[in-house]
Amino acid sequence: MLDRIFTAVASRIAFFAGQPAAFVIALALIVIWGVTGPIFGYSDTWQLVVNTATTIITFLMVFLIQNSQNRDGAAMQAKLDELLRAVEAARNEFIGIEHLTDQEIEKIRDALEKECEARADDGDDSTPDTIERLRRRF
């Protein structure tokens, strides 16, 4: 229950925070704060208000944005896993590799690149372009 509430709130806040209106509101608040500086004599309290507010908002937004990215990443992985499972020629052993370490994933990437290069060197036109050939295109 708490997960669903947090997800709903986090999604709405993350969506709003990414809108131009959120930027305009934040900018307007900073301008208002700056304009009121002379009124409050640029006091320590006046400075503390904006420092505290921005610190709190930043602290909370880190968790909301991370939650949103975690959900997006997990959903994308699930979709990619389903595509791997559904495509006849795909290798199912790639399903779930996001749980491996960075070094293990790098070894897999290196092996795939070498495999593509070996196929290209053999004149196999049915394989995708190697990384170098792709780089030359752009």
Do both 110 and 71 map to the same domain?
Answer: no
- Distance, CA of 26 to CA of 53 (rounded, Å): 11
CA distance 51 to 44: 10
Position with higher pLDDT, 137 vs 72: 72
User: Which range of residues forms the domain containing residue 135?
Assistant: 100-138
- Give the total number of structural domains in the chain: 2
Radius of gyration of the chain (CA): 25
Q: pTM score, two decimals? A: 0.65
pLDDT in tens, 75-126: 999 999 999 999 988 888 889 988 999 999 999 988 888 887 777 676 655 5
Asked whether residue 31 falls in the same domain as residue 62, the answer is yes
Q: Based on the domain organization, do 90 and 105 belong to the same domain?
A: no
**Is the same domain home to 23 and 68?**
yes
The reply to whether 32 and 78 lie within a common domain is yes
